Amino acid sequence: MNKEQALTTAVGRLADAAIRDFSSGGILRELREAAAVALGGTGTAVAVMAVRESAGSACARVAHSDEQVTDLERLQEELQQGPCRDAVDWDAMVTVTDIAAQQQRWPQFAAEASALGLRAVAAVPLRARGRVWGVLDLYRTRARAWPERELAVARLLADVAASYLVMASDRDAAYLAHLEIEHRSMHDQLTGLPNRSVLHDRIEHALATATRRDRVLAVAFLDLDRFKEVNDTFGHAAGDDVLIEITRRINATLRAGDTLARLAGDEFVLLCEDLPAKAPELDRTVAAITARLRAALSQPVRVAGEDLVVSASIGIAVSHAGPSAQELLQDADVAMYAAKERGRNTVVVRDHTRGATVGFGRRLQRDLGKALESGQLLLHYQPILDATDERIEAVEALLRWQHPEHGLLTAQQFIHHAGCNGFLSRLAAWVVETACAQLATWRRELGESAPRVIFCNVGPRELADPALREAITISLSTHELKTADIGLEVLEDAFADPALASVLGDYSCAGHPLAVDDFGTGYSSLSRIIGLPVSYAKIDQSFVAGLPDDARCRSLLNAVLTVAGSLDLRVIAEGVETEAQKVYLTGAGCHLLQGYHLARPQTVDDVTRLVTHYNRS
């Protein structure tokens, strides 16, 4: 093969590499082979070094050197010394006719080259777009000047290879950009977790796998308790930091194959696949998953110099086959709301492998439209006791649904489906009417022993509905009651809305006692309360839970009591679970007490007996 044919063949190899193996590594490998064809011969060795721009333009071996010079190229990489380094630094070809004469310039490289019998070297940079992409190293065993033709061929091969490297780099960059866009479309930007669409696909796949393998999966829906207050108090940046830390902790508890996703805000979903189908082992596995989740959340999170314990309400749906991903997610969501109803920081499990109905949430939404007409809704009442004499001064009306298939459901298990059906105002009117009728009955039967007030929980949108105001007026008139007999419980966050605050002011001026629920948790809205004639403040149970031993809970309670006292509010302490809490809260200055230690939410007959016992003894 003559020289022209050799050059044509060499360039053809490079072009073929660009088409066939369009990668930087493939092009550098073919450059070495092309140079060997065009310039090789007896006493010649060829090597190619890549230049890593991300590593400060360091020369790096790419395993494309002749065996004879492998150790020499390794030495160049380790020392960053030699012709390759100079070619990069000078951005120019380096030619040396006698390496032995370069002892001062390249002491270790020159010594190693001489030991290998190499006498001359030419280093040709692969230049394009203002940078060096690699270096073609040519070695001779004889010390002599490099012929201009050989250097021209080397430059040509280097230029061709550099152009293909640029094309490969552009292709790789475009591919990485595509992957990034694809990743962003499927993952939450803050935490990097899979989003709802990815989770949905994985649940569907897990359900199909469970059917084939006779295994079980669990979907755990986590909602961080009172996370809004973190944002309101410390700012959204701090809230984001909390979400990232919670993500890190939960991720650390996952088994291989588990999927943690973030749906929105403070909502996370954990998919656990390949669970055992047999009851005892399944129970242990679900319990272990729950324990790991709660342990991950149990340690305080440092936020703006303060330690916060961020708890979560967790609903778990367990199934093997039958439901869709959407149905299973919805059931886990319903279970999560049931956990919140039980006092937050709790877990509720719906086990479809033992007969729990699949598609629970979807059917609730459908059935709720019939519940009012068919008489399935009812009220339970939880007594509120005077802290001093333990008389039942008031009761809180709590909505329940006696579902023909699912049994007694709490409001948290179905109330969000009422919003979908658009009749929350009708429900609120029904609650007030039923409460008015019951209070009138107690007044007739119990006289002075009857509770003074029934508190009803009404949502912000419903309170602003003129139809509800009219319904309340009619109910009070029908049962010969006064506005002071029906209190309205409103979450403290509602006062942050100026329009709603004005509506609440109208109710209060009309004579309805307003109770600020979860008082002390929505710090940003306290200034709103000052301007309203609020009557009661319900201290959130999170302030009560650690009493009387937790010093921080004591300090928080005292601070909230001080604020309430300055606003002349009567204070109701929620979540009283122990005698010690009752004693401490009474001594601290709480006027009224409510909680399971005193009385659970109960039926009308049970509450009537309690009122008779407490208020006539």
Count the Cβ atoms, other than its own, within 10 Å of residue 137.
29
Listed as ranges, residues in the chain with pLDDT below 50 are 63, 355-358, 420-421, 522-525
Q: Are 507 and 462 in contact (CB under 8 A)?
A: no
The C-alpha R_g of the chain, in whole angstroms, comes to 38
Distances (CA, A) of 405 to 379, 409, 536: 19, 11, 38
Count the Cβ atoms, other than its own, within 10 Å of residue 175.
10
In the chain, where are the structural domains located? 3-182, 196-358, 366-616
Instruction: Look up residue 220 and give its two tokens.
Output: 């755990």
SS3 49: strand
Q: Are 514 and 538 in contact (CB under 8 A)?
A: no
**Is the previous residue joined to 548 through a cis bond, with omega within 30 degrees of 0?**
yes
Q: Which residues contact 347 (CB under 8 A, 6 or more apart)?
A: 290, 294, 314, 315, 316, 339
Strands (E), 192-290: 216-224, 259-264, 267-275
Q: What is the pLDDT of residues 84-111, one digit of tens each?
A: 888 888 889 999 999 999 989 999 999 9
pLDDT at 153: 86
pLDDT at 381: 97
pLDDT at 420: 47
pLDDT at 285: 86
pLDDT at 523: 42
Whole-number Å distance between alpha carbons of 472 and 431: 10
Helices of type H across 299-423: 325-341, 360-371, 411-421
Pick the CATH number of 366-616 from 3.30.365.10, 3.20.20.450, 3.30.720.200, 3.20.20.370: 3.20.20.450
Distances (CA, A) of 223 to 269, 309, 412: 9, 14, 13
Strands (E), 257-344: 259-264, 267-275, 301-303, 306-308, 312-319
Whole-number Å distance between alpha carbons of 275 and 292: 16
pTM attached to this predicted model: 0.51
Residues listed for the chain: 617
pLDDT at 61: 62
Whole-number Å distance between alpha carbons of 136 and 125: 6
pLDDT at 97: 93
Distances (CA, A) of 127 to 133, 135, 157, 163, 613: 6, 9, 11, 8, 95
Nearest to 268 by CA among 298, 292, 234, 244: 244
Q: Which residues contact 440 (CB under 8 A, 6 or more apart)?
A: 479, 480, 481
Instruction: Look up residue 593 and give its two tokens.
Output: 């007490």
Q: Is 196-358 the same fold as 3-182?
A: no
Burial category of 477 from C-beta neighbours within 10 Å (exposed 0-12, middle 13-18, buried 19 and up): exposed
Whole-number Å distance between alpha carbons of 212 and 288: 25
Pick the CATH number of 3-182 from 3.30.450.40, 3.40.50.980, 3.30.1380.10, 3.40.1160.10: 3.30.450.40
Q: Which residues contact 205 (CB under 8 A, 6 or more apart)?
A: none
Whole-number Å distance between alpha carbons of 482 and 203: 54
Q: Are 194 and 259 in contact (CB under 8 A)?
A: yes
Q: Are 443 and 451 in contact (CB under 8 A)?
A: no
Architecture per CATH, 196-358? 2-Layer Sandwich (3.30)
